[in-house]
Structure 1
Amino acid sequence: MNTLTKPETARLLDRLFTAADREEADPAPWPLDIPYAEATARQRADALAGEYMPISRAGGRLLYALARNGRPETIVEFGTSYAISTLHLAAAVADNGTGHVWTTELSDVKVKAARANLEQAGLAEHVTILPGDAFETLAEVPGPIGLLLLDGWKELCLPVLRLLEDRLAPGALVVADDITFASMADYLAYVRDPAHGYVSVAFPVEDGMEISCRP
């Protein structure tokens, strides 16, 4: 048995994924008077504080497998939301018996919810949540980073990668979710260009994941 299959973890993840599925089937209207594309990251974070916006179930299992195989000492996540992806990463760290997850979140509501979910799963000790602007909070994260998950605002994934690139370990994996979104085009062009030093492949889970290795 691994931590993902323990009853308390499995029940929690099932509850979170089920709530996210209901939300996706009946999405709430955009609540602000300005277009989504014109809203700042803070405005979007506050407006969508009740939205789960998770990785897929298959994507979560993929993250767990990658973290178990690589046994990274430092995992960094851009955008925890309600901690669905973070729970998978923390479960891998717990089962590896080594490592730590550092994750970011701009919404105060989601920071509180993520902490509660990690506590409920008994995985909080394996995770540090960094509240606030990721471009400021990620300055605290030590290298070398063995696994980086990019699942925050899509237009910021490339800037966050560039911010952390000099802290990536040799052979580090960089995983980006939702690569079918048009706003990921610049990111994909960057990691798929051999001049930037990555070996990159798209993985066919829901909305797509890009897995890039920095040899």
Structure 2
Amino acid sequence: MTNTLRDPRVRSTIDRLFAAASHDDTCEVPSWEALRSAGTQDRADALAGCYMPISARGGELLYALVRSSRPDTVVEFGTSFGISTLHLAAAVADNGRGHVYGTEMSLAKVEHARRNLDEAGLGGVVTVLPGDARRTLAGLRGPIGLVLLDGWKELCLPVLRDLEPRLAPGAIVVADDIDQASMADYLAYVRDPANGYVSVAFPVEDGMEISCRA
């Protein structure tokens, strides 16, 4: 079975990015208290040098979910430097169908992500949309088969609600960093059967919630 994650170009790019991300604790940013009170664009600009990636195991999970569900349209909220995007794109490439639409507010990160995808040879299956996801995704047509929510945590639920009319039956929605307190409203929503999801937490670093649009 083809697994593009093992391709030398892809593997070297992912390994390089994870190595760089391991130094996030030295990233120079304003105080976290100031960041919490800042607007989303100001936060994105202040953290333009920080990777804030998914975990390696989380990336492998994303790859497996895309390979198994074979979505035609994948949406990623919060592309950053493109580590998660590379895993999604590798799966789309191996499926031989589909396209990934990433979103990122930091223009610097948009450029880095595009270069990283091209370096890995996967730029052709990804479009990275710069700006506020609630605007940039507004014109994206469905049906959407898989969504990764890994942007600002207080926006995960609003972004999901925006996308819901375009979700395919059985669509998979993955949310990262569910251990953060700011994800409480999101988790309450997807875990309430009245809202149309079957949802389960998956034990990777910082936690992922996997929800099926039932």
- In the superposition, the TM-score normalised over structure 1's length comes to 0.96
Structure 2 letter corresponding to 1:19? A
2:177 equivalent in structure 1? 178
Cα distance in 1, alignment partners of residues 36 and 22 from structure 2: 24
Cα distance in 2, alignment partners of residues 107 and 28 from structure 1: 16
2:88 equivalent in structure 1? 89
The 1:2–1:33 alpha-carbon spacing in structure 2 relative to 1, beyond 3 Å, is closer
1:15 equivalent in structure 2? 16
Report if the CA contact (8 A) 2:75-2:148 is conserved: yes
Structure 2 letter corresponding to 1:9? V
Query: Deviations for 1:167-203, whole angstroms, at most 9, x for unmatched residues?
Result: 0000000000000000100000000011101000000
2:98 equivalent in structure 1? 99
Report if the CA contact (8 A) 2:27-2:49 is conserved: no
Query: Deviations for 1:3-48, whole angstroms, at most 9, x for unmatched residues?
Result: 100111111101101111122xx33353269722210000000000
2:73 equivalent in structure 1? 74
Cα distance in 2, alignment partners of residues 28 and 9 from structure 1: 25
Structure 1 window deviating more from structure 2 (33-42 vs 99-108): it is 33-42
Partner SS state of residue 206, structure 1 = coil
Report if the CA contact (8 A) 1:32-1:47 is conserved: no
Cα distance in 2, alignment partners of residues 34 and 188 from structure 1: 24
2:211 equivalent in structure 1? 212
Deviation for aligned residue 1:49: 0.2
Matched, 1:60 2:68: no
Partner SS state of residue 174, structure 2 = strand
What residue ranges of structure 2 are gaps of 5+ in the alignment?
A: none
Aligned length: 213
Structure 1 window deviating more from structure 2 (1-10 vs 151-160): it is 1-10
Cα distance in 1, alignment partners of residues 26 and 161 from structure 2: 33
How is 1:42-191 mapped onto 2 (pairs within 5 angstroms)? Answer: 42-191=41-190
Cα distance in 1, alignment partners of residues 32 and 44 from structure 2: 15
Structure 2 letter corresponding to 1:83? G
Partner SS state of residue 140, structure 1 = coil
CA RMSD of aligned residues (A): 1.2
Cα distance in 2, alignment partners of residues 132 and 30 from structure 1: 21
Partner SS state of residue 152, structure 1 = coil
Structure 1 window deviating more from structure 2 (185-194 vs 28-37): it is 28-37
Structure 2 letter corresponding to 1:150? L
Report if the CA contact (8 A) 1:75-1:100 is conserved: yes
Structure 1 letter corresponding to 2:158? P
Report if the CA contact (8 A) 1:80-1:86 is conserved: yes
Cα distance in 2, alignment partners of residues 202 and 33 from structure 1: 27
Partner SS state of residue 199, structure 2 = strand
